[in-house]
Amino acid sequence: MERIKEKMNQLRVEADNAVTRAEEAEAKNKKYEQHLLEKEQEITSLQHRLGVLEGDLEKAENKLAESKAAADENQSSKMTNEGLTRKIQLLEEELDNAEKNAKETLEKLRLVDVKAEHYERQVQRLEQERDAWEHKYEEAMAKYNKAQQDLDDLAKSLQDL
């Protein structure tokens, strides 16, 4: 009987040990489940954070694309601006040349006007001289006609004698 008692005690000890191990295993299981739950929550949090970061990345990529487009547009504008600046410089040079030509033409025109006034005065003087010569010619013709008349009269009176 003692053997049975000993066996029972031994079985009890084994049962107590088994219960203790089972409780330890359940405690470990609960700890692992808690740890697993924490990890799942952390994964969920990280997935949410990953989604937010992906959204931020997409926004950043869009901004980058917009910035690149703006830079390209800026470069294009800069090139257009440089082209327009060169065109303005050429037009300014043409304007300077045109102004220079206009000044030269104006000076030549002024000289032509001066010469024209000089020639007009010469023409007036020559017309006055012509009028004076015509007047002298008319007076001389009148004297000639009178002298011719006097000569004719004298020749007639000499014939009558």
Token pair for 104: 């030269």
Gap between the Cα atoms of 141 and 134, Å rounded:
10
Gap between the Cα atoms of 155 and 133, Å rounded:
31
Q: What is residue 161's predicted lDDT score, i.e. its pLDDT? A: 72
For the chain, which residues make up each domain, given as ranges?
Answer: 1-112
pTM, 2 dp: 0.41
Structure confidence by residue, pLDDT tens digits, 39-83: 999 999 999 999 999 999 999 999 999 999 999 888 888 899 999
Token pair for 51: 């989604």
- Residue 6 pLDDT > 90: no
Structure confidence by residue, pLDDT tens digits, 108-129: 999 999 999 999 999 999 999 9
The sign of the dihedral angle between the CA atoms of 132, 138, 141, 146 is negative
